[in-house]
Chain A
Amino acid sequence: EAGVTQFPSHSVIEKGQTVTLRCDPISGHDNLYWYRRVMGKEIKFLLHFVKESKQDESGMPNNRFLAERTGGTYSTLKVQPAELEDSGVYFCASRTSGGVYNEQFFGPGTRLTVL
């Protein structure tokens, strides 16, 4: 079974540009999460989808970030316009409904560098 995949693995952009990150969860996983770790900080929750609906977006830092999950399959996270402080590693995770509490399956992350 394929794990969670994220694309791209690395992205380098200039301040003010737009970047779109993609996450493909494990097939059949209704729950999809985005997290990020910015420079030297802890991994922080951004938002949680259940199928195509946003269950919790309390961690989204501001309105420059837009997450979508059309059709309840893959998800995209767009940053527009990107700022220097957005640099970090963005992780996606997924889980099935039910199952083991707190067990989420993480992708390898996308390393975003904003110059």
Chain B
Amino acid sequence: LAKTTQPISMDSYEGQEVNITCSHNNIATNDYITWYQQFPSQGPRFIIQGYKTKVTNEVASLFIPADRKSSTLSLPRVSLSDTAVYYCLVGDGTGGYNKLIFGAGTRLAVHP
């Protein structure tokens, strides 16, 4: 099972771009890289997913280098409401329809 490593915490200010990098050296060929966001007292929420190169949606961008051993979640112009825990997940090697494997996540604090 792939293991991910990401910063325990990060601080930023409103309006800044935030980049959270995740390492996943043992990622399997058929694993996707997925990021979730979790606010206090809520369940995790899917943000973005990718396999390689770059993926962008209305919330974030995900950059994945060719070797896929790491990935970077980019949040443009953060606001106070982006304060949350961000989880980087890779699949369990079976194609992505089964259990999610959560790490400790990165606690992002956005300051005024």
Taking beta carbons and an 8 Å cutoff, which residues of A are in contact with B? 4, 31, 33, 35, 42-45, 48, 55-56, 59, 91, 93, 95, 97, 100-109
Contact = CB atoms under 8 A, between A and B. Distances in A.
Contacts of B44: 43, 91, 106
Q: Chain B contact residues (Cβ within 8 angstroms of A): what range?
A: 20 to 34
Interface in B32-47: 32, 34, 41-46
Given A42-B104, A44-B102, A109 B91 contact: no
Contact of B32 (A31, A101, A105): A101
Helix, strand, loop or mixed for chain B's interface? Answer: loop
A93 B43 contact: yes
B8 interface: no
Contacts of A91: 43-44
